[in-house]
Structure 1
Amino acid sequence: MVSTDQDRESLQSQKHYLCGSVAAFANIVITFPIHKALFRQQLFGVQTREAVRQLQRDGLRTLYRGILPPLLQKSSTIAIMFGLYEDFSRMLRLHAPQAPVLLTDSIAAVLAGTAEAVLTPFERVQTLLQDPRQHGNFQNTEHIFRVLLQQHGIRELYRGLVPILLRNGPSNVFFFGLRGPMKELLPEAETKAGHLVNDFVCGAILGAGLGVVFYPLNVVKSHAQVQIGGEFQSCRVILANILRERDGKSQQVLA
């Protein structure tokens, strides 16, 4: 009986990893052009229309340039996010059964977000591949990895780690903390398709909302990661530089 329960838990855990990975893969393939336009806004402080115009000028040939790193990174990080969250939650409830569920789930979310940051090098490479100023300097993902490692060492691959950590932990806490209550507000699903639709709606709303909340951190991260070599600047210094470049207008950071 114990063995059967353990097998069931193991299969359930594997399901979370697999579903997270497949969902992330589909998400990136479909929304990559949107994320690329968003990156142009973060990097250059332009409006959405201008970012789209830039992509049109670059042409279809470069539209999906840089998709491999986010495919690898997101497929892995979302799998880690869902899988490790469930594993950490179960482990914490097992070893601290008296602790409030909100506390154990929040700790599990932060731990899962921290573990995701191991894959920062993929975000780093993605940023350089999407930067139009680097189109002539790097051929592909493997080329960037080789150049950064040979010329600057492994530490260079983790440039931008701090804003990623500041983003991942809190955003996971909000995502997993609000997912249940939000799903309860939706019409009760009676079929698998209904549950799938509810999960999609919750994920879309939370993803969009958290994307707005943590957008400034993503701007800081993008500006940190387009730099190659040199001093590792703090988030505060990078943000101050961005504001100075954009005439000190904080709303320009959210452009």
Structure 2
Amino acid sequence: MSQNENAIKPVDSPVKEGLAGLGSAFVTIGTTYPITKLIYRQILENENAAKSLTKLRQEGYVIVYRGIMPVMVQKCLCLPTMFAVYSAATIPLKSLNMNEYLEKTCASVISGTLEAFLMPFERVQLILLMSQYNNQFRNMFHLIRVMAKDYGFKEFFRGYTTILTRNICSNCCFFLTKSELQKRFDNADHVYMKHMQNFVYGALVGTLITVLMYPLKVAKVHIQKDLGGKYRNLLEVSREIYQTNSRGMINFYRGIEVNTLKGLLSWGITNSSYEWIKHRL
């Protein structure tokens, strides 16, 4: 390989990673969005899965996919950012000859931090998921106009610190755990077994992330469900959740069964489709 080819390879790699992440985002959201809506309804309305599912069925398929635009846009920005920035960050970090795990952690922190700036889409998605706003906001663009006009730019970043914490922890968990799984078990020869292996890697990591990050997700939802009014911090909201109905820590895990299933499927689909697309670019 020539010197020029070596010079451009590091530049192309993050682009390739980003495109693979973009493709996997489309596939993942299209297949798992109804489950996402079911989970948020359980958290927001303090219901079990059966009751939330019955309500969604009564609302119809159009309402089930209401709010998919912001989450699709957010995911199509976040996943490419996650993979591309992580890949780009490792290039200068490698020149520092630091410990492998420290290098991956630093790259994960950088990618997670940049991802957090895309949180307005996540904020808008949550409002559109809430049943009480079904008749108040027509779509994502209508909601954005109202929020910007009536509540100001700051309202889009309600819960930023919580999302930043979640992103950094999730990215560290994903890249470090996936790397370890690949080093120890990446031995499939047949192409179909390779796809299955990538799905299993993603599913295992996704399940781990879901279980570890779920209490933070519940707190984030309760912080962001308010439209206007006082800005509540993570500690304040966590105390409120803990005291609800005197159920303590159980309140932080309402809906975790469905969310774990969704995490298993979505991360499995994300990782397998990401690897498949990247292999063909």
Give the TM-score range, shorter chain. Answer: over 0.9
Structure 1 residue 91 displacement after superposition: 1.5
Q: Are 1:59 and 2:60 counterparts?
A: yes
Q: Secondary structure at the match of 1:246?
A: helix
Counterpart AA for 1:88: A
Greater relative contact order structure (CA < 8 Å, 6+ sep): 2
Between the aligned partners of 1:213 and 1:81, the Cα distance in structure 2 is 19
Deviation per residue, 1:35-81 (Å, 9 max, x gap): 11111122122222222122112222201000000100011101111
Structure 1 residue 193 displacement after superposition: 4.1
Aligned to 1:189: 188
Between the aligned partners of 1:54 and 1:239, the Cα distance in structure 2 is 27
Q: Are 1:235 and 2:237 counterparts?
A: no
Between the aligned partners of 1:192 and 1:111, the Cα distance in structure 2 is 33
Q: Secondary structure at the match of 1:188?
A: coil
Structure 1 residue 156 displacement after superposition: 0.5
Aligned to 2:102: 103
Aligned to 1:81: 82
Q: Retained in 1: the 8 A contact 2:159–2:233?
A: no
Between the aligned partners of 1:124 and 1:13, the Cα distance in structure 2 is 27
Deviation per residue, 1:67-106 (Å, 9 max, x gap): 0001000111011111101111111112x12x11111110
Q: Retained in 1: the 8 A contact 2:66–2:128?
A: yes
Aligned to 1:37: 38
Between the aligned partners of 1:34 and 1:229, the Cα distance in structure 2 is 28
Deviation per residue, 1:121-152 (Å, 9 max, x gap): 00000000000011111110001111111111
Counterpart AA for 2:155: E
Counterpart AA for 1:146: R
Aligned pairs, number? 253
Q: Secondary structure at the match of 2:136?
A: coil
Between the aligned partners of 1:27 and 1:201, the Cα distance in structure 2 is 15
Q: Retained in 1: the 8 A contact 2:86–2:108?
A: yes
**5 Å matches for 1:1-255?**
1-94=2-95, 96-97=96-97, 99-186=98-185, 188-255=187-254
Which stretch has the larger CA shift, 39-48 or 60-69? Answer: 39-48
Between the aligned partners of 2:205 and 2:156, the Cα distance in structure 1 is 29
Unmatched segments (≥5 aa) in structure 2: 255-281
Counterpart AA for 1:199: N
Provide the identity percentage: 30
| TM-score after normalising by structure 2 | 0.86
RMSD: 1.5
Structure 1: which 4+ aligned runs deviate by more than 6 Å? none
Between the aligned partners of 2:251 and 2:225, the Cα distance in structure 1 is 19
Deviation per residue, 1:6-26 (Å, 9 max, x gap): 222222221100111111111
Q: Retained in 1: the 8 A contact 2:174–2:205?
A: yes
Unmatched segments (≥5 aa) in structure 1: none
Q: Retained in 2: the 8 A contact 1:45–1:253?
A: no
Which stretch has the larger CA shift, 180-189 or 113-122? Answer: 180-189
